[in-house]
């Protein structure tokens, strides 16, 4: 009798332990799924313009060659837009500019108007070109164009030595840009260095000229400023919905 009771107790304890372990594993699995990092999604497939649409009076400037998204520039201007809108995300890409090159990455663009104002533009520029010596600090690569200057945050004339301490490379080299856009926070990293870490609520004086600062979603775009530019390895991971 005692042996039977003892065996039964051992059985029940083992079963309970097994159930507890099962619940623990299930809970851990759910926790891992809920807390896992968002997955990177290619925005550019390296083969064609699937997922993009060209917005231009003279389309045809954007081509895909050898896995590279090339813009020939020219007088058409305009931009290349994603066909979907995005809200909170991390965007990663590489770009290469010719000497004197000028482009930009539009964020939360409504699809109409100049994206530097109706949305936001993250500047992409050959910072070292002589023709740009007299630009304002808010016009160099990594800046939220006309809103927040990228580090070091000075013009070439204000402090030539400090200006040289830039994250960017000379024209003709591939460079990397990462953009974290979550709610009112925008962080820009160029070649591994954070050059902007901004809260859009800190610029109420800019909203009249840049109504796009108040938007919370929109298209991502690549600007054709007429000078030519190349992009590759464009990918995104979504943070939250949309």
User: Which whole-number Å values give the CA distances from 76 to 58, 61, 71, in the listed order?
Assistant: 5, 8, 11
Mean pLDDT, rounded, of the chain: 88
Verify that 56 and 27 share a domain, yes or no. no
CA-closest candidate to residue 239, choices 55, 63, 59, 40: 40
Residue 117 exposed, middle or buried by CB count within 10 Å (0-12, 13-18, 19+) = middle
| Comparison of pLDDT for 75 and 210, the residue scoring more | 210
Residues 3-55: tens digit of each pLDDT: 444 444 443 444 333 333 333 222 223 233 456 788 999 999 999 999 999 99
Verify that 49 and 146 share a domain, yes or no. yes
State the pLDDT at residue 36: 76
Verify that 116 and 202 share a domain, yes or no. yes
pTM of the predicted protein model: 0.84
- Structure token pair of residue 42: 């290619």
We report the CATH number of the domain holding residue 201 as 2.60.120.560
Both ends of the chain: CA-CA distance in Å? 65
State the pLDDT at residue 35: 61
Verify that 28 and 80 share a domain, yes or no. no
Task: Give the position of tokens 């991971």.
Answer: 237
Query: Half-sphere exposure of 101 toward its Cβ, with a 13 Å CA cutoff?
Result: 28
Contact between 118 and 217 (Cβ < 8 Å): no
Verify that 161 and 206 share a domain, yes or no. yes
Local structure of residue 166 (DSSP, 8 states)? -
Verify that 132 and 198 share a domain, yes or no. yes
What's the whole-number mean pLDDT along residues 205-210? 98
Residue 51 is part of which domain span? 41-238
The CA distance from 83 to 7, in Å, is: 66
The CA distance from 199 to 100, in Å, is: 30
Verify that 54 and 136 share a domain, yes or no. yes
CA–centroid distance for 209 within its chain: 23
Verify that 30 and 75 share a domain, yes or no. no
Verify that 65 and 147 share a domain, yes or no. yes
The CA distance from 105 to 223, in Å, is: 6
User: Which whole-number Å values give the CA distances from 114 to 111, 120, 210, 221, in the listed order?
Assistant: 9, 9, 10, 11
The CA distance from 193 to 165, in Å, is: 11
Verify that 170 and 212 share a domain, yes or no. yes
Verify that 114 and 4 share a domain, yes or no. no
Verify that 119 and 137 share a domain, yes or no. yes
Residues 110-126: tens digit of each pLDDT: 999 999 999 999 999 99
| Comparison of pLDDT for 27 and 167, the residue scoring more | 167
State the pLDDT at residue 18: 39
Contact between 83 and 52 (Cβ < 8 Å): yes
Residue 94 exposed, middle or buried by CB count within 10 Å (0-12, 13-18, 19+) = middle
State the pLDDT at residue 12: 41
Total domain count for the chain? 2
- Structure token pair of residue 53: 């649409």
């Amino acid at each position: 009798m005692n042996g039977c009771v003892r065996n039964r107790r051992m059985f029940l304890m083992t079963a309970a332990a097994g159930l507890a372990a099962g619940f623990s594993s299930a809970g851990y699995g759910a926790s891992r799924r809920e807390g896992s990092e968002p997955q990177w999604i290619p925005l550019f497939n390296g083969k064609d313009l699937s997922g993009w649409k060209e917005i231009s009076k003279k389309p045809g400037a954007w081509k895909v060659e050898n896995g590279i998204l090339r813009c020939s520039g020219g007088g058409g201007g305009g931009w290349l837009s994603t066909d979907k809108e995005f809200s909170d995300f991390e965007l990663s890409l590489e770009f290469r500019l010719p000497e004197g090159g000028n482009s930009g990455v539009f964020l939360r663009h409504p699809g109409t108007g100049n994206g530097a104002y109706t949305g936001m533009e993250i500047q992409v520029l050959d910072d070292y070109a002589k023709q740009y010596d007299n630009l304002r600090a808010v016009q160099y690569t990594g800046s939220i164009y006309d809103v927040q200057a990228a580090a070091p945050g000075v013009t070439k004339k204000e402090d030539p030595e400090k200006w040289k301490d830039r994250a960017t490379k000379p024209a003709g080299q591939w460079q990397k840009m990462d953009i974290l856009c979550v709610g009112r926070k925008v962080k820009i990293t160029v070649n591994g260095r954070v050059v902007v870490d901004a809260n859009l609520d800190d610029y109420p004086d800019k909203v009249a000229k840049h109504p796009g600062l108040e938007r919370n979603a929109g298209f991502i775009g690549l600007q054709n400023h007429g000078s030519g530019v190349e992009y590759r390895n464009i990918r995104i991971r979504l943070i939250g919905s949309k």
